[in-house]
Structure 1
Amino acid sequence: MGLMMINENSNGSILVSDLLAAQPVFSCQLDGKGKANSLNDKTEASKTQPYWIHLDFAKSETINWINQTNLIPDLVKNELIKPNQFPKEIRCDTGILVVLKGVNFTPNELPDPIVTFRFYITDNLIISTRHQKIDAIIKLKENLEKGIGPVDVADWLIQLSELICDQVNLSFDGVHNKIIKLEDLLLNQRIFSHKEIGRVRKQLFVLRRLLSPQRDIFVKISTERISWIDDNDRQRLHDISNQQNHYVSEIDSCLIRIGSVMEQINSILAESTNKRIYLMSLFTIIFTPITFITSLLGVNLTGIPFNENKWSFVGLILLLIAISIISVIWLKLKKWW
């Protein structure tokens, strides 16, 4: 491809050969009826039949293509290949750039991996980039194969957003089930490691950090004056944002419940410790007189002062009694007893 600039041809249509030069992971043309066809030089992109290319931004060929093509504004190019990004939406003259984060839900005890997804979308072209595989994209491709996929670019944006939200919701439901399990263990007076709580809290914080900015992004997109987004699409985007807001509230509630679980664990541990100390104190009280008697009878009188006198043993006992009385008075003064 060299240093050739990739552009539209003379009649304004997008050259399929130029798109394929990016070496996409997946490419197709929406047929406007819920399915997709392979890119063909004989077809042209339109609002009802847009092109979609899905790229891996870690490929050097893809990076070169993005930097050289005129199909993407310069403001967008760096955003499509930047590795670490926060969710955002940028409006351009010809389209919008959207950066979203999602999760690849995995039904195990480990936190679900977070993935970043970027796409630039116009009325007849969708260019999306990622590095890790994204479950939402896989499901969107499956919908296209079944004939229930997006029919245009607005529907593509909404269906993808819904699938990303569905994965987040699955992840949240998994975390919520773990919280219920921990609460059930507490009801049965079973103690578990703080590491289990730590994993749940971490996943909740990650999900909240992910959802909070994205709910605003969907509202922002719905308020943009974009010709290919109609009122019905705007309402669907608002519904997605409301759903995100609902889950943010649920996450806040779960964080409070996790805090309550930790307090109950600490309370149970403190109660258990107090019971052990109390039991040991009882044993000490029981064996103290026995210990005192055996110690007293085992005193070596030859080593004490005035051992030659008959009252030496009685004097020792009186001294011990005096020490005990002084100790009791001292404890009373200190209000320790």
Structure 2
Amino acid sequence: MSGFAYVVRDGKVESPPLKQALGLRADLVWIHLTTNDERAKAWLDGEAGLSPYVIEALTAAETRPRCDSVGEGAVINLRGLSSEALAASDPLASIRMYALGGCVFSVTRKALNALHPVRAQVEAGAILDPGDLIAALAQAITEELDPMVAELGDSLDDCEEHIASRSAFELRHSVNRTRSQAIGCRRFLNPQRAALEKLAAMPGEWLREDDRLHLSAAADRAARMAEELESIRERAALTHETLTDLRAEQIDQRSLIIAVVAMVFLPLTFVTGLLGMNVAGIPFAHEPWAFWGVVWFCVVIAVVIAAYFIRRHWFQR
């Protein structure tokens, strides 16, 4: 288990050890743990003295974005991008927070990219209370997610633009990857929007009016990204269907060519097979022009059959 702590008092920022930060009275005490084992539960129970409900919310193995009122405080779970490799079905790392008065406890199980800029803001003295901290985290998460969603849209635009010029297998792989990422992110952005909206409307003196405005802006941005991801998912499904139809059309075209070639050579095979029998009585077998006569006869048959298929527009798609 590792972590850090910040104490903001009268505009001054300190970073004491975790144990020393507990119980301090200040404008903001932020205690963060990075862990995925049972030691976090023991520390939050024994050292921090949090309630079992809050400890379970902070250390649960699986979480979705949420916001629940707990007494005079709130439990908030958010999801953001991570520098670690995550599963396609769960592509966003979680941060679980408990805010009460001037104190915020937060826990992450995977590295969260948004923590770095928020820590920089705290050290620069730009974050002064719990409302500022949570609003800054929400804004940092949504600002990082926005380019990722735009990149998914651009990737799908590229697939749609080159749908006729690139191989169907390559495009289907790219479309499936984009669709999978969009579905994985959309799972969390809709509840994240709802959690931020609920937090912005939650009563409490630790949330100032500007904090609520920032949270509402982050919720609106999350809603827009969720709508964009839904659009990407639907477009990816349509593109996949188009590629499937294109592949089926290519197979039909090739099958048609094979069928035409087979029908051209079928009578020729019959003629050559008939004349190639090793029996007596084959007409013109001893004539010097017989070979070239059979060749020209086969050529005429092939031309007639090909002309028939051309006249019937079999080669036009």
Match of 2:25 in 1: 45
Contact 2:4 2:15 in 1 (8 A): no
Report the residue type matching 2:134 in the other structure: L
In structure 2, what is the Cα distance between the partners aligned to 1:82 and 1:111? 18
- Structure 1: state its 5+ residue gaps: 1-22, 303-337
Q: CA deviation at 1:137?
A: 0.9
Q: CA deviation at 1:203?
A: 0.9
TM-score by length of 2: 0.77
Choose which of 98, 117, 127 in structure 1 pairs with 2:76: 98
Q: CA deviation at 1:112?
A: 8.3
Q: What percent of counterpart residues are identical?
A: 21
Match of 2:247 in 1: 269
In the TM superposition, what are the counterparts of 1:275-294 in structure 2 within 5 Å? 275-294=253-272
Q: CA deviation at 1:154?
A: 0.6
Match of 2:132 in 1: 155
Choose which of 235, 243, 250 in structure 1 pairs with 2:228: 250
Report the residue type matching 1:102 in the other structure: G
Query: 260-269 vs 216-225, which deviates more?
Result: 260-269
1:27/1:246 Cα in 2 relative to 1: closer, same or farther (>3 Å)?
same
Report the residue type matching 2:156 in the other structure: I
Contact 1:104 1:112 in 2 (8 A): no
In the TM superposition, what are the counterparts of 1:199-218 in structure 2 within 5 Å? 199-218=177-196
Q: CA deviation at 1:106?
A: 7.9
- SS of 2:168's partner is coil
Contact 1:168 1:207 in 2 (8 A): no
Q: CA deviation at 1:127?
A: 0.8
In structure 1, what is the Cα distance between the partners aligned to 2:233 and 2:79? 21
Report the residue type matching 2:167 in the other structure: R
Match of 2:149 in 1: 172
In structure 2, what is the Cα distance between the partners aligned to 1:282 and 1:187? 25
In structure 1, what is the Cα distance between the partners aligned to 2:274 and 2:40? 92
Match of 1:312 in 2: none
- Give yes or no for the alignment of 1:236 onto 2:219: no
Query: 291-300 vs 250-259, which deviates more?
Result: 291-300
Q: CA deviation at 1:159?
A: 0.5
- SS of 1:45's partner is coil
- Structure 2: state its 5+ residue gaps: 281-317
In structure 1, what is the Cα distance between the partners aligned to 2:214 and 2:192? 15
In structure 1, what is the Cα distance between the partners aligned to 2:226 and 2:73? 29
- Give yes or no for the alignment of 1:181 onto 2:167: no
Q: CA deviation at 1:183?
A: 1.8
Superposed CA offset, 1:173-206 (max 9, x none): 2322321232233142432343333222211111
Q: CA deviation at 1:250?
A: 0.8
